[in-house]
A and B are shown apart, each in its own frame.
Chain A
Amino acid sequence: MTTSRLPINREVRVAQDLTATVFKDLDVNLFDLHIAAHGAALGVLTGRTFRGCRLQGPAIMLVSAGVRFTDCNFGEPDGVMENLVLRPAGARALGTIPFRDTLFDGCEFYNVGFTGPEDILNTLLAVGKN
């Protein structure tokens, strides 16, 4: 039997090394993370692990291949996952923070929305409906 890390009740602990690949029990601003990795350029955050972290926006996360969420609280959608999801109108998604091959385990998201390919969005929209 596994134990949930949620809710995260620890005190605020802001991540200092935003270039790390593993973040454990830390608070991370997603836009700071993107800037640390890519500056003003476009880029994908790849190969990261977040455990027991609070991840803060404002940000729209582009969820792409290899991104997994286990035991996560996606935010306060008032019980409606639809409030957290945006559909891209085009084939690409500018203005987002793209992630690939990343694990979010026991994390909480604050002021974060999600976008990505239709199959991934449908999976997200099904959260809480099963």
Chain B
Amino acid sequence: MTDETPKMSAEETAGRAMVARTTFEKEAVWLPMLAVQHWNVGEMAIKDKTFTDCVIEGPAVMAVMNGTTFDSCAMGAATDVKTLLYRPVSQDKMAGVIGVSNCRFVRCRFVQVGFTGSDELIAELEAGVQTASGAAS
């Protein structure tokens, strides 16, 4: 007699399927939920995905990590890009943020999403950010 294999809930199955995807196109993505789905399978950052023509929704602050790019994106409804940016007090760890590495955002629109990262990254975003009212390239 063998033990029955534990079955995953529908929610967990759906979450794992989201984590396994590498492309998202013309859809709304709720960033906090996508992050939690990654954490549930032990991945502490969202990695190696391409988002095209998506609406990326918060509230959330994204830690922009190595290899993440923004092509023709509307970063947020703000007249002052600084409103979207945060400087970490520590460069070692950042609690509460959603790490994103090696991801490509193409023609995406960000809603209620802030951004943080290295000083260089913040300077780059300040210089290149295009807000919804006026997109980063």
Whether B87 and A86, one on each chain, are in contact in the complex, defined by CB atoms closer than 8 angstroms, is yes
Please name all residues of chain A whose beta carbon is closer than 8 Å to the beta carbon of B137 when the two chains form the complex.
Answer: none
Contact of B97 among A91, A113, A125 (CB under 8 A): A113
Q: In the docked arrangement, what's the CA distance between A86 and B114, Å?
A: 11
- Given A58-B96, A60-B114, A94-B112: A86 and B83 interface contact (C-beta under 8 Å): no
List A residues 30-78 near B (Cβ within 8 Å).
31, 34, 40, 42, 57-61, 75-78
Closest to A88 in B: B86
Number of interface residues of A (CB under 8 A): 37
Q: In the docked arrangement, what's the CA distance between A58 and B112, Å?
A: 14
Please name all residues of chain A whose beta carbon is closer than 8 Å to the beta carbon of B111 when the two chains form the complex.
Answer: 40
Closest to B86 in A: A86
Is the CB of B35 closer than 8 A to any CB of chain A?
Answer: yes
List A residues 76-116 near B (Cβ within 8 Å).
76-78, 80, 82-97, 111-115
Please name all residues of chain A whose beta carbon is closer than 8 Å to the beta carbon of B78 when the two chains form the complex.
Answer: 90, 92, 94
Is the CB of B32 closer than 8 A to any CB of chain A?
Answer: yes
Contact of A92 among B36, B83, B94 (CB under 8 A): B83
B113: min CB distance to chain A, Å: 5
Whether A113 and B94, one on each chain, are in contact in the complex, defined by CB atoms closer than 8 angstroms, is yes
Whether B112 and A95, one on each chain, are in contact in the complex, defined by CB atoms closer than 8 angstroms, is yes
Q: In the docked arrangement, what's the CA distance between A46 and B94, Å?
A: 26
Whether B87 and A96, one on each chain, are in contact in the complex, defined by CB atoms closer than 8 angstroms, is no
Whether A87 and B86, one on each chain, are in contact in the complex, defined by CB atoms closer than 8 angstroms, is yes
Number of interface residues of B (CB under 8 A): 40
- Given A59-B96, A95-B61, A97-B59: A86 and B82 interface contact (C-beta under 8 Å): no
- Given A83-B92, A86-B94, A95-B113: A113 and B82 interface contact (C-beta under 8 Å): no
Contact of A42 among B87, B93, B98, B112 (CB under 8 A): B112
Please name all residues of chain A whose beta carbon is closer than 8 Å to the beta carbon of B80 when the two chains form the complex.
Answer: 90-92
Q: In the docked arrangement, what's the CA distance between A75 and B93, Å?
A: 12
Whether B61 and A86, one on each chain, are in contact in the complex, defined by CB atoms closer than 8 angstroms, is yes
Q: In the docked arrangement, what's the CA distance between A31 and B59, Å?
A: 7
Please name all residues of chain B whose beta carbon is closer than 8 Å to the beta carbon of A78 when the two chains form the complex.
Answer: 93
* Chain A residues packing against B (C-beta within 8 Å): 31, 34, 40, 42, 57-61, 75-78, 80, 82-97, 111-115, 121, 125
A-B contact pairs, 12 of them (CB 8 A): A31-B33, A40-B111, A40-B112, A87-B88, A88-B83, A90-B82, A90-B83, A90-B85, A92-B78, A93-B86, A94-B76, A95-B76
Q: A87-B86, A89-B83, A96-B114 are in contact. List 18 more A-B contacts (CB 8 A).
A: A31-B60, A34-B59, A58-B35, A58-B60, A58-B97, A59-B96, A60-B86, A76-B95, A83-B92, A84-B96, A87-B87, A92-B80, A94-B112, A95-B58, A95-B62, A95-B112, A97-B59, A112-B95
